[in-house]
């Protein structure tokens, strides 16, 4: 019995340890603003994260499940209508009314297009939930390059600690690559934090609402349980102590 308890405890500890991804890679230790029961997205982070996506990652990674209009969500990046329009117009999407192959600037109701890129970069719409470690995995990938690279059959591979070996994406961003207008430090850690937050929002735009609903239902359950307990005591009081109620 003791051994069973010990192994269950060990398994629980391992499962909650932030250091090891499900596979072979090592994840960084980092607290996100949206962690925990009361955590919420930070609009500044989401807007800066979007800026990195557009200026760097979008060259290779699409987001085909994310419509431009959601960039205006109040619990999301919260861009204004004019900003969302301007952002969409920076992207080209297939023109249904033109000849095959024609494109037109995107409108807010369109979805982020998938760029043509070599090496099969995964779509980013759900990436923050598709990998063990979630947003922490993306954060750790951005900070996980060792600088080692090798050539295999004509293709270059790059070593990354979070990936747990070599893979096909060269380090996409270095410090000071993206200029922040709000004075936030342009460090790689900050970029990784903001981009991971943005991709977490892209993958789960309703997280804040879901957490609020969770907190509400737990509060309700506690209140309800307390009421039941008092009612129960009152109802049974006469039965248990009839002498007090004679
Ligand atoms: C020049 C093209 C290019 C750019 C720019 C780029 N990527 Fe990638 N990315 C790739 C390719 C190709 C892969 C697939 C590599 C592989 O599986 O070997 C990839 C894979 C990934 C993965 C997934 C690893 C996995 O588990 O499959 C993550 C995370 C990632 N990229 C994040 C980013 C982020 C964040 C940015 C922007 C800061 C970015 N990428 C910019 C080409 C790019």
Give the C-alpha separation, 199 to 134, whole Å: 10
The architecture that CATH gives domain 28-145+171-204 is Orthogonal Bundle (1.10)
pLDDT digits (tens, 9 = 90+) for 3-46: 666 665 565 555 544 444 445 789 999 999 999 888 999 999 99
Mutate to test the pocket of ligand 1, among 135, 169, 191 (most ligand atoms within 8 A of CB): 169
How large is the average pLDDT for residues 190-205? Answer: 97
Give the C-alpha separation, 188 to 173, whole Å: 8
What value does the mean pLDDT of the chain take?
90
- Write the DSSP symbol of residue 38: T
Q: Ligand 1 centroid to 238 CA: how many Å? A: 70
Q: Ligand 1 centroid to 122 CA: how many Å? A: 7
Mutate to test the pocket of ligand 1, among 23, 61, 119 (most ligand atoms within 8 A of CB): 61
Report pLDDT for 212. 87
Rounded to 5°, angle at Cα 112 from 111 and 113:
110
Domain borders along the chain are 28-145+171-204, 206-246
Give the C-alpha separation, 155 to 152, whole Å: 5
pLDDT digits (tens, 9 = 90+) for 95-148: 989 898 899 999 999 999 999 888 899 999 999 999 889 999 999 999 999 999
pTM of structure = 0.84
């Amino acid at each position: 019995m003791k051994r069973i308890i010990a192994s269950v405890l060990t398994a629980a500890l391992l499962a909650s340890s932030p250091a090891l991804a499900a596979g072979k890679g090592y994840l960084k230790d980092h607290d996100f603003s949206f962690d925990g029961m009361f955590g919420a997205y930070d609009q500044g982070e989401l807007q800066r994260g979007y800026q990195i996506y557009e200026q760097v990652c979008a060259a290779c990674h699409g987001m085909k499940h994310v419509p431009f209009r959601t960039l205006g969500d109040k619990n999301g990046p919260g861009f204004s209508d004019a900003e969302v329009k301007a952002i969409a117009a920076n992207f080209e999407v297939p023109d249904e009314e033109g000849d095959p192959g024609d494109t037109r600037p995107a409108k807010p109701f369109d979805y982020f297009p998938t760029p043509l890129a070599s090496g099969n970069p995964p779509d980013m719409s759900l990436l923050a939930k598709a990998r063990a470690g979630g947003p922490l995995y993306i954060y750790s990938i951005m900070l996980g390059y060792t600088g080692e690279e090798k050539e295999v059959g004509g293709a270059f591979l790059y070593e990354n600690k979070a990936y747990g070996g070599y893979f096909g994406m060269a380090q996409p961003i270095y410090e000071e690559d993206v200029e922040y207008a709000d004075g936030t430090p342009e460090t790689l850690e900050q970029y990784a934090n903001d981009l991971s937050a943005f991709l977490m929002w892209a993958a789960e735009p309703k997280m804040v609402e879901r957490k609020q609903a969770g907190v509400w239902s737990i509060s309700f359950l506690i209140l309800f349980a307390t009421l039941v307990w008092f009612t129960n005591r009152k109802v049974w009081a006469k039965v248990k102590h009839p002498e007090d109620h004679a």
